[in-house]
Amino acid sequence: MKLSTRGRYAVMAMADLARVENGKPVTLADIATRQEISLSYLEQLFAQLRRSELVTSMRGPGGGYQLARRADETRISDIILAVDEPIKATRCDPTKPHGCTGSGGRCLTHDLWDELSRQINMFLSSVTLDDVINRRVLGAAHIFPPAEVASPEATIVAGE
């Protein structure tokens, strides 16, 4: 299972916003430049994030976006779900009463993939933006030199 760019970019942009926000709105153009994401794509994502009340926007000079709640209150799963990114590993349609096989039954490995989806959802629900920007979810990231991790000026790089 692979998370699409829609969910990944939304999390990257929100992490960028959480990291650089200092009480002032942040422009999407700045996030787009730092994260190397298309501005028009970010506009689409932030429209959904705003509707889900994860960000607020301010128009006019000095305008931009801010987190609607603190980074330690914003779960990664909320961001992904806000941009309509399904987090599931099965190929079954949960809105239909039958399974994914041609005969309408569930495939032999359905329960395996369903449990994987549940575990992914639990993990993403347990991680906040604050965890991400403060590098408390390291995984393989422990390979970065300590100076880079500690540096507040270090830019969040696309794909991290």
Q: How confident is the model at residue 64 (pLDDT cuts 50, 70, 90)?
A: very high
- Predicted confidence at residue 151, as pLDDT, reads 41
Q: Cβ distance 14 to 129 under 8 Å?
A: yes
- Predicted confidence at residue 96, as pLDDT, reads 61
Q: Cβ distance 105 to 99 under 8 Å?
A: yes
pLDDT tens-digit map of 10-47:
999 999 999 997 878 999 999 999 999 999 999 999 99
Question: Which pair of tokens denotes residue 120?
Answer: 């992914």
Radius of gyration of the chain (CA): 18
The whole-number average pLDDT for the span 80-98 is 73
Range among 82-96, 118-132, 136-150 with highest mean pLDDT value: 118-132
Domains and CATH numbers, the chain: 5-150 (1.10.10.10)
